[in-house]
Chains A and B, each alone.
Chain A
Amino acid sequence: MRVILERSNLLKSLNHVHRVVERRNTIPILSNVLLHADGASLEMKATDLDLEVNEATAANVEQAGATTVPAHLLYDIVRKLPDGAEVMLKTDEDGNAMSVISGRSSFRLQCLPQSDFPELSAGQFTHNFRLESAAVKTLIEKTQFAISTEETRYYLNGIFLHTLEVGGKLKLRSVATDGHRLARAEMDAPAGSEGMPGIIIPRKTVSELQKLVDDPDVPVTTELSDTKIRFTIGSVVLTSKLIDGTFPDYQRVIPTGNDKQLIIDRESFARAVDRVSTISSERGRAVKLSISDGQVTLAVNNPDSGSATEEIAADYSSDPIEIGFNAKYLLDVAAQLSGSEAKFMLADAGSPTLIHDTADEHALYVLMPMRV
């Protein structure tokens, strides 16, 4: 293989691809990126066996061929080369090493044969639809923070994507929960998504996808089956396994009868939560909200260090209520809201609280209180 290409093109593609590669691997080939030069392009591919990303970029192929080299190493080299440089990638006669040559720099990297590189066979896809990048971004960003990181409940380690009919219209919904809070975003279902299975997209796939949808002008083509999903964003193709589990019937935890409405300025609320929680201990980051007519008092009590309170004005006219929340969860939700005000719908100190985004009726958050 002998190929010459722009450093910027190579860097851009490697940047998309190399992130999939785990820093520590017990299987050596999984540390490598597959390079395949043919026609007028260089294709790069990386996998962790659950997720695969590949991208092709324009290149001057002098001799077609393929090999694999350590992904992070190659990325770091290309990253440090000067902007505007041209890079030549050239394998040895015996194929055991590849040279990276640019200007006066020259590197030799050990190769592993491309035939050892694992293929993530995608199988047949049953559904296929297109979404705008912005739509994908919304579905991810509104819910990603609530994905569980606790591995026992593997079925919560991702975003649940499914369609359902709301008021006679088919909606595409993303939902994530860690058992303490839940986030839900929805939009009109795109053509082609009708009848798709409810799927759980793993956390790592979600975060890779999120980084790939930064360009708002590029549509995202989604193909999926019961077990796999593939996103095509411009020249990048991301294929991933799905989580083999059943997402809980989340609708049962979204309360419908909460009648105590609290409307509060989002930013001053978040700042106040952040301030009073300074005093809280690492273990129990609880903030007690005492909500009464037109006012919320936030209080944190840490037996080891002291206490803090802050009062903020709010729009509230129901019976007074005292309720505790994890400060971090309140801040996480506040950070998601796009409106200047947050709307809380409360029931009591032991039941789930609903939080609405006043500027986005398609997003919804459920937060379980803390006993304080």
Chain B
Amino acid sequence: MITETYHEGTSFIHRMDPRVKIIHLVFFSVVFFLPVSVPKYYAVFFLIFVSSCTSSGLKNVIKPVKVIMPLIFLIMVLTPLFHPEGNVLFRAGDYILLTSSGVSETLLLVGRFLGITVLFFIFLRTTRIDDFILALRFFGLSHKNAVVITITVRYIPYLMSVYLNTVDAHKMRLTVNTLLPGRWNFPARFRNLLSVLTSVLIQAVKGIPVLAMALETRGFGRMSGRGRLKSMRGIKELIPDLILSLMVFLGILYYIFI
């Protein structure tokens, strides 16, 4: 279970100012949607992957990739079927199953999907959520919206723990005589999952008024100005990071377009 995204560290990505990281996040996300060749695409992905590994270790970077593997598999199976143009590489009777264009498009989609996943994962892995919120507030996010994001981030692991607790509660209702559905009895397994999800939903809905109460007892709703526990570095201190980032961006743009 991933209960917290941030992982303590001292790597250069950890040390980077969260505002600069957000600029990187936007830049690389755009790069993954630019019309460039597959090898160049993967070169950018490789750069992100290696940087991520230096900050969080290979094992940690592989983690989110493992989670999205079923989706990657579906992309690999389904995408070629929708691209019959280009050189036919494989066909079954009259049906074209694989073309050069299909392969290229699949690699592009897989690379984009992997790249963006690793990019966001490494951002959250190396950035404290309060620093992230402060950076968003620097870019103009209102206090109320910042609280909404904070609570969302706080509640994702909470809902995850409610889900796991409910699963545990179901396990505790088993007895030595309980008949379990077979491995391939998908309707029964789906029914079990549905009952767990319903419980989680009820818990989440029940929590709404209590959350509102908790917020109000802590002063949320007051019309007074907002204080801040943490402040960010001055803009001047960001200049070296920004110059370095600009050089990296220009280098990447030069490589992929020229």
Q: Do A and B associate with each other?
A: no
User: Which A residues have a C-beta under 8 Å from some C-beta of B?
Assistant: none
